[in-house]
Chain A
Amino acid sequence: MLSALFVVVVTIWAELSPPLKNWLAEWSGHHWVSKSIFSLLIYFSGLFLFYYVPKQVDGNVVRKYLNALLATTFLSALAIFAFYTGHHLGVF
């Protein structure tokens, strides 16, 4: 979820803010490569964080988070498509 949200936010922000896009490009040589690396780092950081933070986790909690993951990635995909469509049409 964190990874998907990061991709949406940084993608839209970088498209509207050339300095951010330039920074991403300079970080690894290409803005898309930087986003790829950061999204994986965020995923694995979240994975370790939620695995090692001690708390009670049962099937209901896991199912809730997996459903939220499905919804988040679906909406994130729609958001990116909608943004680039609007961007191409000159809406924003």
Chain B
Amino acid sequence: MEILLSKPVLVGLHLGFGIIGIDAFLWLLGELRGKARRKPIVITALVGVLSFFGSWIAGGYYYVTYYGNFVRPVIKEGLAPWAHNIMMETKEHIFLFIIPLALTIYFAVLLTTEELESAGIRKTVMYLAAYVALLGLAIGAMGFMISAAARWGAVN
């Protein structure tokens, strides 16, 4: 259990779950486009939701326990204080949209393929899935910049 709460493992779990979540919603986009059967669509969306939850928990624990005391001061006094002031602050709050968005998509795909089509919302759900994936990628890019700023702050 201790190793799961170590800093590198927490960051790894945060990133890993995030990547699975992004990939799941990209996969879902493909399945909706190809009008796949309901069961794979529902499972893919559920994997996406649970992965983002996992990313939220692992990242949140790391952020609350370690980031504020150990990482933030290094970044703010380093080469790129904007990595915290803009990137981290934006990332930690945008992330709060992802879970409700992912849940909304999951509830939408509980409809059958025929219901999605007859209600005229299949394309809209596709756009939402694409948007969640893009948000995830943007958050990931911001996380990379924050980590790099911390490394360079520590080195310098």
Contact = CB atoms under 8 A, between A and B. Distances in A.
A contact face: mostly helix, strand, loop, or mixed: helix
Contact of B60 (A36, A70, A81, A85): A36
Interface residues on A, range: 20 to 34
A59 B114 CA distance: 12
B87 to A, nearest CB: 8
B128 A59 contact: no
Interface in A35-80: 35-36, 39-40, 43, 47, 58-60, 62-63, 66-67, 69-70, 73-74, 76-77, 80
A40 B119 contact: no
A74 B103 CA distance: 17
A66 B93 contact: no
A16 to B, nearest CB: 13
A40 B95 CA distance: 12
B8 interface: no
B108 A80 contact: no
B118 interface: yes
Contact of A43 (B103, B127, B135): B103
B92 A62 contact: no
Contacts of A29: 64
B97 A3 contact: yes
A11 B88 CA distance: 13
B96 A39 contact: yes
A83 B62 CA distance: 25
B5 interface: no
Interface of A: 3-4, 7-8, 11, 29-30, 32-33, 35-36, 39-40, 43, 47, 58-60, 62-63, 66-67, 69-70, 73-74, 76-77, 80-81, 84-85, 87-88
12 contacts: A3-B96, A29-B64, A36-B60, A60-B120, A69-B128, A73-B131, A77-B94, A84-B86, A87-B85, A87-B89, A88-B81, A88-B82
